[in-house]
Amino acid sequence: MKSFLQNTWKHRAHVVLALPVFLVLFFIMYVPMAGLVLAFKDYKMNLGIWGSPWCGLKNFEFLITSKSTFITMTRNTLLYYIVFTALGTFLNVTLAIAIDQCIFKKTTKAMQTIMIIPVFISYAAVQFIVYAFISTDTGILNKTLGMNTKFYATASLWPLILTVVKMWNSVGYGSVLYMSVLAGIDTELYEAADIDGANKWQKIWNITLPALIPMITVMLLLSVGSVMRSDTGLFYQVTRNNGALYSTTQVIDSYVLNSILKSSNFGFTAATSFFQSVVGLLLMLLSNGLVRKIAPENALF
């Protein structure tokens, strides 16, 4: 212990360098963690989080009694997470390999530049673009196909719409990370495979994909912790926060945002948030534990 303190004193310059981030994280991330106790309190605006009286598990009773809202938004959150992560990872990797394999380097570079653009457009702006495609009277889809589909009133179409928008938004950028791994593969491996007479697919299957596995694992692990969290803008802005679509578009995060903006239902919302944070933590620990068993070198911690 004494040597630890000595070491810290000796490197006090490092402590000073680390201090600003330490403080920012403390106030921005750690204090709100303590704020989760709100789930067990009866929130009173004038008393604040710490001063409000305890109320036991009453807020969680709301979750159970109003189960359709809670179950619908949890189900939506989970299903969208699964679809986005599975399809997203598959497309990210496919696109990265496709770009890596293509020999027209200059052209692919230009194409890649364009593919990344959507990720930089905020959802507040994306919603106008989506509207241009699917609005009932003026949308390109209805006009060109001669249909009269009321997209903004048909909840069943939205899982598809949101998936397309999400992939459009994220795949180009998502593939960049995998490309950075591909760029690091030793070319001698491919050369050796050539000498052994491997064809293109065999090389992809036996060299390229295995090289990507660690990155895929890390990215999946990182995402598991946010299973209960969603890309709020996608679900709030792109759907125009349309109540008629909630059955397929309301996720936990957009519900919480609505409740904050309307300052209503804080008890229910606090219980939901608590559930969201705890489940996220458990899933993260579980998946990291699994990876540590199977491939310890890829585990996060």
Partner 1 sequence: MEDKKRKGNKKDLAPSRTEKRGIGQYILAFFLLLYTLFCALPVVLVFISAFSDEMSIQKKGFSFFPEKFSTSGFMAVLRYGKQLLTSYGVTIFITVGGTLLGLLIMSMFAYAISRKEFRLAKFLSVYLLIPMLFNGGQLSGYLIFTNNYHLKNSLWVLILPLCVTTMNVIILRTYIVNSIPAELMEAAKIDGAGEYRTFFQITLPLLKPSLAAVGFMMATAYWNDWQNAMMFIDTKHTNKQPLQLLLIKIQKNIEFLLNNNNVPASAKAAMGGSIPQYSATMATVIVVIGPIMVAYPFFQKYFIKGLTVGSVKG
**Smallest separation, CB 211 to partner 1 (Å):** 14
Helix, strand or coil, per DSSP, at residue 41:
strand
Among 235, 253, 287, 291, the residue binding partner 1 under the rule CB under 8 A is: 253
Q: Is 246 in the site for partner 1 (CB under 8 A)?
A: no
Q: How many CB atoms lie within 10 A of CB 114?
A: 9
**Smallest separation, CB 38 to partner 1 (Å):** 6
Q: What is the DSSP string of 158-185?
A: HHHHHHHHHHHHHHHHHHHHHHHHHHTS
Distance (Å, rounded) from C-alpha 230 to C-alpha 86? Answer: 15
Nearer to partner 1, 165 or 245 (CB): 165
Q: Which residue has the tokens 């179409």?
A: 157
Nearest to 82 by CA among 216, 223, 209, 213: 223
In the DSSP assignment, the letter for residue 42 is -
Nearer to partner 1, 245 or 267 (CB): 267
Residues in the chain: 301
Q: Is 195 in the site for partner 1 (CB under 8 A)?
A: yes
Q: Which residue has the tokens 């310890």?
A: 296
Among 92, 239, 249, 269, the residue binding partner 1 under the rule CB under 8 A is: 269
**Smallest separation, CB 30 to partner 1 (Å):** 7
**Smallest separation, CB 131 to partner 1 (Å):** 8
Q: Is 113 in the site for partner 1 (CB under 8 A)?
A: yes
Contact 220, 135 (CB under 8 A): no
Among 57, 71, 86, 261, the residue binding partner 1 under the rule CB under 8 A is: 261
Among 82, 86, 128, 213, the residue binding partner 1 under the rule CB under 8 A is: 128
Q: Is 1 in the site for partner 1 (CB under 8 A)?
A: no
